[in-house]
Structure 1
Amino acid sequence: MSPRIDPVAEGVILAGAGRAILLQLARPEVGYGVARHSDFARNPMGRLNGTLMYVYAVMTGSDADREFAAAFVSRMHTPVHGPGDDEAPAYDARDPGLQLWVAATLYDTALLVYRRALGNPPTSIEDELYRRYAALGTALDVPSEAWPQDREAFSAYWRSASQSLHVDPAIRAQADELWRATAAPWWVRRLMPLNRFVTAGLLPPDVRDGFGLSWSPRRQRRFDRLWTVVAAVYPRLPAVVRTAPQRYYLGRLRALRRRAPGTG
């Protein structure tokens, strides 16, 4: 029997990265913080690399990995704040409520993609995923009691928090620039049409419409066929392939940690 793969290390979950990012941007206090303090739309790999190093360190790394990653992200968050004005709401990247939303988008997306590629997981794995994704927020400024107590409570939180989503022209422009990825490597730009298609199919319809991502019954059929192929092929890949992103990003983070002053 082949060894069990850590569910949070399944590389296919990365197919939902675009969905998670757009759901985060659709929360105005997050979207304007990103728009005014980041160039991720021009170069999405920078933000993606940083996010994935943090995700894998917190959920699959050592104590030293988690501490280093959390401290790094906290430093990056510190200058990201604004008082609000006629164009934007007040925002603060250290706000526990906003960090909770970001962690929630990562969990909700991971579970959605996991089900698409690997089928509905056993309750034990769903519970494990839920528990471990909580750490993405609680490793920063989210109090442990703020993460919904169980998956049923999370569903209620998700429905409520989703009512606060709003995509205005400035936020939509961020997404439009993201698809162009002008400062990203050529191979990232070549993959953007596929990424946009997958992201559109995974998004809730109202958020998809807000970002101007066209959809139709024909696109839905293509989307479903794509996931049928993924579900047939991905589970048959060797574990070393399915977990390659985790090893890569943990390796990158550990290399940074070794070079950091005061660490060994």
Structure 2
Amino acid sequence: MLRRVEVEQHGRLFQACLLGVGQGVVDSTVDTGRADLHPVKRALTTGTYLAVAVFGTEADRDFVRKSVRKIHARITSSPGAEVRYSANSPALQLWVAVCLLEYFIDQHEFLYGPLTEEQYARILRDGATLATTLNVRPGSWPTTREEYEELWKAGVADISMNEQVREYLTELCNLAFL
């Protein structure tokens, strides 16, 4: 089982350890969003998404939500592909949002210590926009610590990657694109 500190060490790449997400990243033909081809643009896009999801107005989030849906519609597995995926998959988007919140929780606990139950409840409520801005249905987002931890453990249990995804992520981690 992965510890939270391991999530912190791997950062955003942890999301791609779920095969459908990782394969979608590797196979993506949306070159302008690829971290290996355009790392600065990818960082700006991700930073903008996080800022809007956390601090934006509902109108801001709606704009980003529609943009994400449109771009992600172009990222789907080809017919007959060994790994089937759609970047608009509610299950994959939920995993990405759970990973983002896990990173925030990990960083908070690293700096300030464990969250109280009240803080955890608040971060779950506030963190819902990380998911809904990715087009996750509001009812799919966990409302209790137990529900969240169950989602996290289930996602970790489903982690799997093929050699192609492993190689891609290793090159990203090693900054081979630079």
- Of 133, 146, 152, the residue aligned with 1:158 is 152
The answer to whether the 8 Å contact 1:41/1:178 transfers is yes
Residues 80-108 of structure 1, C-alpha deviation per residue, up to 9 Å, x if partnerless? 0014646x411101110000000000011
Give the count of matched residue pairs: 168
SS of match in other structure, 1:128: helix
Q: Is the 8 A contact 1:100 1:142 kept in 2?
A: yes
Structure 2: which 5+ residue stretches go unaligned?
Answer: 1-6
- 1:123 is the counterpart of 2:114: no
Equivalent-residue separation in structure 2 for 1:74 and 1:159 (angstroms): 27
> How far has the Cα of 1:172 moved from its partner?
1.2
- 5+ residue gaps, structure 1, are 1-14, 185-264
Q: Which residue of 1 aligns with 2:4?
A: none
For residues 84 and 128 of structure 1, what CA distance do their matches in structure 2 show?
42
Where do 1:25-64 residues align within 5 Å?
Answer: 25-37=16-28, 38=31, 39-64=34-59
Does the 8 Å contact 1:42/1:180 carry over to 2? Answer: no
The CA RMSD measured in Å over matched residues stands at 2.2
Residue 147 of structure 1, aligned match among 138, 141, 148: 141
Match for 1:66: what amino acid? Answer: R
1:31-69 per-residue CA deviation (whole Å, 9 max, x = no partner) reads 010001153134433323212211111221123321222
User: What is the aligned counterpart of 2:83 among 81, 84, 89?
Assistant: 89
**Distance of 1:123 and 1:49 partners within structure 2:** 33
- 8 A Cα contact 2:65 2:135, kept in partner: no
Distance 1:29 1:177, change over 3 A: same
Match of 1:178 in 2: 172
Higher-Rg structure is 1
Per mean C-alpha deviation after superposition, the further-off stretch among 69-78 and 101-110 is: 69-78
* Preserved contact between residue 19 and residue 109 of structure 1 (Cα < 8 Å): no
Q: Which of residues 88, 95, 102 in structure 1 aligns to 2:96?
A: 102
**1:80–1:93 contact (8 Å) kept in structure 2:** yes
TM-score computed with the length of structure 1 as normaliser = 0.58
Deviation at 1:19, TM superposition (A): 2.5
TM-score by length of 2: 0.83
CA–CA distance in structure 2, aligned partners of residues 126 and 45 of structure 1:
32
